[in-house]
Amino acid sequence: MERLQKVIAQAGIASRRKAEELIIEGKVKVNGKVVTELGTKVGVSDRVEVGGVPVERERKVYYLFYKPRGVISAVSDDKQRKVVTDFFPFVEQRIFPVGRLDYDTSGLLILTNDGEFSNLLTHPRYQIDKTYVARLNGIPQRHLLKRLAEGIQLEDGKTAPARVKELSVDRKKQRALIEITIHEGRNRQVRRMFEAIGFEVQKLKRERYAFLNLNGLNAGEFRELTTHEVKQLRTLAETGSLR
């Protein structure tokens, strides 16, 4: 169930405030009856009309996408670069990315047309783990990785504690693969964290988002989240656990 003014606004008919005015003025009907109370909630099966015109309501959709490198996490780009929604040409709903991945970062990204769900997952107070694998130019010593794990000072403040694990090192090429799990979402945060200890990230991929992973997908491919997965994500964001 959603508030009537929100349903009208999401349909693109009017802003939330204008929708409230239309309701008060008696120009909105639910199931053939005029409704003037702002607290009214409607379900998917309810028929809503504004000025005698039926409101078209989009089915809520949720996608897990394997974003390739060189793609913008947006629905459009003024420089005509490829954006994530270009990979969904047959999806009728007006979807958008939940949060973002940098242009040069690949990996797991969620797209939806559910604004409430998106806000729930991206709000700073909801601490959802995001796991990345970074290929570094150089091999950091353990005490430096410990600094990342404890939180490190960046120009926009100290980062929250992270989980950091060395996956492999190539001493001949002087490279290292490091897994890092954070729950913040600052701009270019993982790259900046490694830069703060003196290492450049050559390649970065988001492997997991909460309990979701990229199993079965190649870069540029996607799948719909199951109803259970969507429910679990909501529960995790709201309670901090998968109870």
pLDDT tens per residue across span 17-45 = 898 999 999 999 999 999 999 889 988 78
Report the DSSP beta bridge partners of residue 101. Answer: none
Q: Write down the pLDDT at residue 229.
A: 96
pLDDT tens per residue across span 187-199 = 999 999 999 999 9
Q: Which two tokens stand for residue 134?
A: 């970074």
What the chain holds in terms of domains, given with CATH numbers, is 2-54 (3.10.290.10), 62-125+212-239 (3.30.70.580), 130-209 (3.30.70.1560)
Q: Contact at 8 Å (CB) between 205 and 133? A: yes
pLDDT band at 119 (very low <50, low <70, confident <90, very high): confident
Return the closest-CA partner of residue 180 out of 130, 240, 121.
130
Sheet holding 28-30, edge to edge: 33-34, 28-30, 48-50, 53-54
* Sign of the C-alpha dihedral computed for residues 123, 150, 209 and 134 taken in this order: positive
Q: Write down the pLDDT at residue 181.
A: 97
Cα–Cα separations (whole angstroms), residue 109 to 13, 128, 185: 29, 13, 13
* Range in 4-18, 27-41, 54-68, 148-162 with the lowest mean pLDDT: 4-18
pLDDT band at 185 (very low <50, low <70, confident <90, very high): confident
Q: Write down the pLDDT at residue 118.
A: 87
pLDDT at 242 over 70: no
Backbone dihedral angles phi then psi of residue 196, each to the nearest 5 degrees: -65, -25
To the query of whether residue 102 is one of the catalytic residues in this protein, the response is yes
The one catalytic residue in 46, 77, 78, 102 is: 102
Crossing angle of helices 227-239 and 115-122, in 10° steps, is 50
Q: What is the pTM of this model?
A: 0.81
